[in-house]
Amino acid sequence: MTTTLEAPAQPKRKTLYRGDPGMWSWAMHRITGVTIFFFLFVHVLDTALVRVSPDTYNRAIETYKNPVVALMEMGLVVCVLFHALNGVRVILIDFWSKGPKYQRLMLWIVLTIWVLVSAAGVGRQFFYLLTEH
């Protein structure tokens, strides 16, 4: 008589991602890229208003001078820094023969640099926001 053993049940995942930092880095790279693209699109449109009417352009720029937009600018700085630093990491993984071996270490280095530089950039923006307005 033979008995079969059931395989242990797999724990349910809460997300599509398995929790690997590289996968989250991939997702964040795409999200920050779309955010930067949206900013550039809006920036080109509002800058183009100067050709339509300088007065309309000036009114559009005045609407940006509020704390909500200042917080959005801080978010943009954080997005640009992550996207740039992670992009360098991706380039190293693709073109450096030892890149795949060190990709996890490079991710933690990128995250450390990102946190430090973002804190400095956002701190400077908060200082400007609080002293100039």
Please, which pLDDT band fits residue 67 given cuts at 50, 70 and 90? confident
Local structure of residue 99 (DSSP, 8 states) = T
Q: Mean pLDDT throughout 88-99?
A: 93
Distance linking the first and last C-alpha atoms of the chain: 83
pLDDT at position 131: 85
Higher pLDDT, 18 or 123: 123
Look up residue 100 and give its DSSP letter: T
What mean pLDDT comes out for the span 96-114? 93
- In tens, the pLDDT along 71-93 reads 999 999 999 999 999 999 999 99
pLDDT tens sequence across 25-34: 999 999 999 9
pLDDT at 111 > cutoff 90: yes
pLDDT digits (tens, 9 = 90+) for 27-58: 999 999 999 999 999 999 989 988 988 898 89
- State residue 44's pLDDT score: 94
Q: What is the CA radius of gyration of the chain?
A: 22
Quote the DSSP letter at residue 5: P
**In this predicted model, what pLDDT tens digit does every residue of 1-32 receive, in sequence order?**
666 677 676 666 666 656 678 888 999 999 99
* CA 93 from centroid of its chain's CA atoms: 19
Closest CA to 128 of 60, 62, 73: 73
Q: In the chain, pLDDT over 90 holds for what percent of residues?
A: 59
Non-local (6+) Cβ contacts of 128 within 8 A are none
